[in-house]
Amino acid sequence: MIVRPVLCLALMLLAACVAPRGTGDLGIVVERAAGSLLVVDTTTRQPIASVAGLGDLSHASAVYSRDGRYAYVFGRDGGLSKVDLLTARMALRVVQAGNSIGGAISQDGRLVAVSNYKPGGVKVFDAETLELLADIPATFAGGARSKVVGLVDAPGNHFVFSLWDGGEIWIADMADPRAPKITRFEDVGDRPYDGLITPDGRYYIAGLFGEDGMALLDLWYPEQGVRRILDGYGRGGKKMPVYKMPHLEGWAMAGGLAFVPAIGLNEVLLVDSADWREAGRIAVHGQPVFVMARPDGRQVWVNFAFPNNDTVQVIDVPSRRIVRTLKPGKAVLHMEFTPRGEAVWVSVRDANLVRVYDTQSFRELTAFPAGKPSGIFFSARAHRIGL
């Protein structure tokens, strides 16, 4: 008769000994070679746990549940893994395709979508259970299936994505998750390679690999269709081989300008966000991969493709000048700002290190080992559109 009260007392005492914590200063670092994650604390600037068994993470990305507790990790092998940051355990995992490239979480946090190369299309899952709710094949002219890239969330529980092979942009209205309503925009350009959405959720922009320019869709007025911007930005110049595709997801909006990487050029393009016309260029150290704004918009940080991937440059937005060049080491793959921007974390794959820099003084604050680190994703992404 006394077993239950004693058990309850023991559980209460155990709970009292374990300090509760939130998830606002947590994040993950992808260890691509091992198929594992480091759970990190941005306050102490150190890893606090490791999670293994996530499969092929050679091109992994992640989004977060609304409360920041769960990271949904998209692996190159088609794996979708739901990781609990507080317990540092795999909560759920499904292998949903043969080759996937990223994903998104809906505005209400109930749906997780994955973009797939093989078979081409998007699959949508229940965020709680990872039950498959919808399978959207990316079928275009002639019945072929296209690789899907540039998948983002948009207001109103919509997903927007591009068809690499089909040259199209699609909007999926997920009001009924089991019966998505698809709006297609055809002939948007040659091989859209990635997509982004502005922080306010209004504009979706797809970069075009097969031609100089980008395709812009105003989600407030989708009936106006897709229009071309930056048409011919590389015309007349000599392009170099592209060793790594630029990533538009981490693009920078600062000072009324968009800072975007140019394909095959050692330049960052400046675009006036009022009319989406080119407003200038900044010559940089190499071909940009990520062009990312500090949260306050004062600085833009740029990393580069091989063979210049040992370098990071910092652009001062008001002057449009490079104010610092850093050499973190070979194969800088990703950067992530802390939520308020006082520090930036940099993954240095070939040095097996994550370096953390002060964004005011550019001083290295710390460095810690990580196995072939690539993507760095902090839980503050849970509250940002398109991330």
* Domains within the chain, CATH numbers bracketed: 102-242 (2.130.10.10)
- Distance between CA 355 and CA 136 in Å, rounded? 40
Per-residue pLDDT at 320: 95
- Distance between CA 269 and CA 373 in Å, rounded? 28
Q: For residue 2, what pLDDT band results from cuts at 50, 70 and 90?
A: very low
- pLDDT above 80 (res 5): no
How far, CA to CA in Å, does 42 sit from each of 110, 215, 300, 379? 27, 36, 20, 10
- Mean pLDDT on 190-216: 90
For residue range 108-132, what is the model confidence (pLDDT) as tens digits? 999 999 999 999 999 999 999 999 9
What's the count of helices (H) and strands (E) in the chain, helices before strands?
1, 32
For residue range 56-114, what is the model confidence (pLDDT) as tens digits? 999 899 999 999 999 999 999 999 999 999 999 999 999 999 888 899 999 999 999 99
For residue range 44-53, what is the model confidence (pLDDT) as tens digits? 999 999 999 9
- pLDDT above 80 (res 250): no
- pLDDT above 90 (res 317): yes
Judge whether 354 and 42 are in contact, CB under 8 Å.
no
How far, CA to CA in Å, does 383 sit from each of 12, 67, 176, 207? 33, 9, 23, 25
Q: For residue 11, what pLDDT band results from cuts at 50, 70 and 90?
A: very low
Q: Which helix (H) or strand (E) holds 217?
A: strand 214-218
Chain position carrying tokens 């990312």: 292
Judge whether 77 and 58 are in contact, CB under 8 Å.
no
Q: For residue 254, what pLDDT band results from cuts at 50, 70 and 90?
A: confident
pTM for this predicted structure: 0.92
Dihedral (CA of 162, 168, 174, 179) sign: negative
- Mean pLDDT on 263-280: 91
Q: How do beta strands 46-51 and 61-64 pair?
A: unpaired
